Amino acid sequence: MRVRPILILGIDVISENPKKFAVVSWFNGRLERKGEFTLYRLIRFIQSKRPEMVAVDSVTELGEDLRKFLRALPSGTKLVQVTGRPGEQRSLQSLAKEHGIRAGDRFDPYEEARLSALLASRGVGYEVLAFEDEVIIKVTRGRSHGKGGWSQDRYRKRVHNLVRDKVREIEDRLRRADIPFDLETEERDYGLARGEFRVYAAREELAGLIRPARGGDVEVKIQPVERAELGFAPLKGEEAIRERRSIIVGIDPGITVGIAAIDLNGRIVALHSQRNMPIGEVFRFISEVGHPVIVATDVSPAPGFVEKIARSFKANLFVPRESLRVQDKNELLRDLGITVEDDHQRDALAAAYKAYLRLKPKLEHVDARLREAGLTKKSDEVKALVIQGYNLGEAMQKVALRERPRAEEKPEEVMRQGPDVEQYLRRIRELERRIEFLERENQELKGIIREQRKTIGRLERKLVDYDEEIRRKILRERELEAKVKRIEMLERELREAKSVIERLSRDLVQVKRMNVVEIRGSAVPLKVMEVLSWRELERIERDIGIRRGDILFVVNPAGAGKAIAEELVEKGILALITEKPVPEPVAEVLREAHVPFFTSEELDVKRVDEFAVVERETLERAIDGLLEKWRLEDEEREVERMLRLVEEYRLERKKELKRKAEEEGHRKV
């Protein structure tokens, strides 16, 4: 019984600019209109609810945002095009009618979203596939080593050792989970500068097994491999499986992938090589050629890429006892009398043909038996079954049973011919020979197993000795590393302590000088503010208070405005001293209120931490001078204003007299 998904979202476009979607949810058979969503809000909603499916009548409605939308879908959520794959799409209304669903207004986006959700809940539609069943895992250092001497070299070596340990950890986890992969590493400082895994599994298979990591000494990035073109897979496996010929496939993995296919008679049927070919494209290419019964490689042990393909096709994996040499590959190609375009095609073809040569005696024996039994037309099917592990008699019987319905179409003819005893006798003799052959093969294999067990025991003893040596080496390295870290920490603490001592010594000298000046009564203490802001003003009022006649010292007045300047004037401060020039609005308010303001350079302010003083004589002289300057400027402005008023009065009087003279002249006329 098919388990219905818990939550399905049906969506349809309401408007294009800005793009908005109508959203309807299907939850355990209950429909609910969720409302109108922008693309950003829709993605956030999907990520929070994590539905089983997001159903749409056509993915083209997402336009240029389709790839972005697919990348944002949470793990386990499918995007479904309910109207079918491209080129074979049907209307929502016809599909609804076929499945007994009442359809409403076809121009209503919410109605279209409702139909999409209902059809998806019944398993109608095609899942949109954006990613290959392939993941890239990159392990690198997390932060720059920087420049430096011996300490930086030790740190760099430590990070490279951590990268190596993380690569080994991921490798061990993948092997324990029986997930095929290929690994490329870059060695550095007896460790690894980087490691890159090409894992032949979907991202979901790695959930809880490998986790990304950022911010530390080692970073782990997990990147699914996107398909060059979107794929479409039916929600129900309703597509009929076509009968395809059986083939032997050789694969040379790498940056450029080489593929070679030969049939079970040793004839070449396909040769191909392509740079950066994802595993999904390899599957599709092989499937178009035929059905592989053997997937072969030219190296030992087999790469994870080749293991993944063999497992996916449920084919036998052929691995040579030792990696094929270039000389052996060239000799195989000379025997075939064929030239190839590159080394990748050569390696793939050599692997496939080597596998064929290993099976050739068995396949020729099968051909001979089939000629005797009159089943030569079904040679490929019988050979494929034999390769899969069936004995010849069982394979012939399976093929004969497949043909039985055709024989049953003519029962009268069969009855007239009578039973074919000779066929059964041949079968018995064949089975007896097969039993003898298997018994001999069994004895040989037992001998091989005994030898292999001896070899394994010897290698295990060597491995134990090697592990013990490595363990001692690691313990020495860790002990040395701990001592180096301790030394680095103590050196850092010593540098910091020296810096603090130097700063405190300077401050102490300055404080002594300030105390002497203050005792003599020739210094004025200042109230220090780091910035000229409301929060800082509240702090200093809370801690020490601000009284009329105080002098404030502000380290950084940038960003202050008229309001806070007016507040200072209201509080009645005597003067304002800053390290940097005050902003123009503050200067205008202080100038208008005749509150002097200076920079620390003008008054030679002495400051230590939260304390600052200025010489009384210097301060009073500066204040008197500035106030006198402002008084003169105010008098000048007042004189200018009076002169301007007199001039304006004179001009107005002149205009008035002229107007009266004109009126007098008009009366005389």
Other Cβ atoms less than 10 A from the Cβ of 471: the count is 10
pLDDT along the chain (669 residues), means of 10: 64 89 89 91 92 92 88 87 87 88 87 92 87 86 59 78 90 84 83 87 77 84 83 58 71 90 89 84 82 90 84 83 87 82 90 89 82 72 79 72 46 42 63 72 77 82 80 85 90 90 74 56 81 88 84 88 89 90 90 89 78 84 88 86 87 85 77
DSSP string, 323-339: PPPHHHHHHHHHHHT--
- CA pair distance 194, 198, nearest whole angstrom: 13
pLDDT for res 514: 55
The domain locations on the chain are 7-124, 133-228, 247-385, 523-633
* 270: Cβ contacts below 8 Å, ≥ 6 apart: 259, 260, 261, 285, 289
Q: Classify residue 400 as exposed, middle or buried by CB count within 10 Å of its CB (0-12, 13-18, 19+).
A: middle
- SS3 state of residue 194: strand
Same fold: 7-124 with 247-385: yes
Q: Are 199 and 206 in contact (CB under 8 A)?
A: yes
Specify the CATH number of the domain 7-124. 3.30.420
pLDDT for res 149: 46
**133-228 to CATH, choices 3.30.70, 3.40.1350, 1.10.3470, 3.40.50:** 3.30.70
- SS3 state of residue 54: strand
pLDDT for res 143: 67
- SS3 state of residue 182: strand
pLDDT for res 408: 40
Whole-model pTM?
0.40
Residues in the chain: 669
Q: Which fold has domain 247-385?
A: Nucleotidyltransferase; domain 5 (3.30.420)
The partner residues of 250 in beta bridges, in order of sequence, read: 260, 296
- CA pair distance 438, 394, nearest whole angstrom: 14
The partner residues of 12 in beta bridges, in order of sequence, read: 22
Q: Are 135 and 207 in contact (CB under 8 A)?
A: no
pLDDT for res 5: 47
**Backbone region of residue 594 per phi and psi (left: phi > 0; alpha: psi in -120 to 50; beta: other values):** left
- SS3 state of residue 317: strand
Q: Which fold has domain 523-633?
A: Glucose Oxidase; domain 1 (3.50.30)
What φ, ψ does residue 184 adopt, rounded to 5°?
A: -120, 135
